[in-house]
Structure 1
Amino acid sequence: MKILNATILAKVKYATLFAISYLDRKGNAKRWHLVSRGDQPKCITGERRRPDAAIIVPYHRNMDKLVVIKEFRIPVGDYLYGFPAGLLDPNETVAKAAGRELREETGLDLVRVYRHSPALFSSAGITDETIAMVFAEVEGTPTARHNADSEEIEICLMDRQEIRALLNRTEIVFSARAWLAMDAFAQQGKAYLIGD
């Protein structure tokens, strides 16, 4: 397999659609279409270490609960249960972006980052977008007053039992990453978040 080049097909504010020309394993010329957050796709630049976005898995230390958000997501056409998340600004660290997005979406303050993942591909069949999962301790009183007009977010503080009950509801729409993190929290509690 060999990547040859990338051609821009369409560009909007936060995404670019590319046609990727490549050779398959038998040397046949092929095309693949992908969406990228960057000006060039990662398969051309080779940059795979800096994530495009941070997803915060927030643990409210005073309440001993996970902070889950229920947010209307346009691509899904429904409310999605997940975690606060957002794009990293240029030259912004993962921890700084996590604190900023957490504050904007929940009104909560980041106390400390327990750990975070390396850059992880979010859906490699269609996009080269990468995210970092940030496991963090937070404090404060939740509020949606900092939400942008384009955001409709309900903030839910949930203990392990409430998370288990939520995960068993088949009518609920989840982010895949959030479902996995919630399931691990329901099984292991805070130990999962801090990496013990």
Structure 2
Amino acid sequence: MSKLKVTDVRSIEKLNYLKAYEISYKTKSGKDAKWELVSRAGLDRLQSEIFQKSRFSDGVMVFAVDETHTKVAMIKEFRVSAGGYVYMFPAGLINQGEELAATAKREFFEETGLSLELVHLSPARYVSVGIVNECVNVAFGYYSGIPSKQHQEDKEEAEIVFIDKAMAQKILAEEDVTIRSAQLLEQFFDLNPFMAKVKQP
């Protein structure tokens, strides 16, 4: 049972942590149209992304496995926006002036108590391009140490779990899981039946 609890849901016009933007554009037939989105960043960044094709990173998600490549470290976290627990890979935002590798190791430790041996960082990619311009990198590597929740913030409630193939199948079939995490689980454990069929000679 979660100690965190959603107490109310209401509509607001002004956001405290996100900024709302309206983008004007032309349709294929030349009609004027509008697109709405939210962002953690200011107008300068959004304009740079759209008009100069600049790319930024907001944070890092960590995909860490054991040395035998049979288990992956995940968290089962209470997410306010879902009103319940969701399986996902540890992730967090970059602090100002922080290197991506440092963010990955710091966030992984804060959420799991584990150390990360970083092997590879993916390019920054969009999270949900329909409503937000947030981009994250995926950090791949190996975990070690003893799991601990003592470094989680007061507003965080996450169970540290080590997932093998059988558990991954169960989670994907029965639990709430973010789509990025689901796809990585499917890929790592070869659990997508369509993809497996396509790969056959």
Amino acid at match of 2:64: P
2:108 maps to a residue whose letter is L
Q: CA separation in 2, counterparts of 1:62 and 1:93?
A: 29
Alignment TM-score, normalising by the size of structure 2? 0.80
| Aligned pair partner of 1:12 in 6, 11, 16 | 16
Partner secondary structure for residue 168 of structure 1: helix
Q: Report the AA paired with residue 80 of structure 1.
A: V
Asked if the contact 2:63–2:89 (Cα under 8 Å) also holds between the matched residues in 1, the reply is: yes
Q: Which residue of 2 aligns with 1:50?
A: 56
* Structure 2 CA distance for aligned equivalents of residues 42 and 125 of structure 1: 17
Q: Say if 2:11 is the partner of 1:21.
A: no
Preserved CA contact (<8 Å) 1:49 1:118: no
Q: Deviations over 1:97-117 (max 9, x none)?
A: 110100110001112x22222
The residue aligned with 1:103 is 109
The equivalent residue for 2:100 is 94
Cα offsets for 1:130-160 (capped at 9, x unmatched):
1111112111011111110100100001222
Report the counterpart of residue 6 of structure 2 in structure 1: none
SS in structure 2 opposite 1:162? helix
Q: Give 1:185's aligned amino acid.
A: F
CA drift of 1:10 comes to 4.1
Give the stretch that moved more between structures: 28-37 or 73-82. 28-37
1:132 matches 2:128: no
Which residue is 2:43 aligned to? 40
Structure with bigger strand share is 1
Which residue of 2 is the match for residue 5 of structure 1? none
Instruction: Count residues with an aligned counterpart.
Output: 176
Aligned partner of 1:148 among 137, 153, 162: 153
Question: Following TM superposition, by how much is the alpha carbon of 1:162 offset from its aligned partner in structure 2, in angstroms?
Answer: 2.2
The answer as to whether partners of 2:60 and 2:100 remain within 8 angstroms in 1 is yes
Identity of aligned residues (%): 32
Q: Which sections of structure 1, spanning at least 5 residues, go unmatched?
A: 1-8, 189-196
**2:190 alignment partner, SS class:** helix
- Superposed, 1:151-162 pairs within 5 Å as 151-162=156-167
Q: TM-score, normalised by structure 1?
A: 0.81
Deviates more, 1:53-62 or 1:173-182: 53-62
Contact (CA 8 Å) 1:69, 1:82: kept in 2 or not? Answer: yes
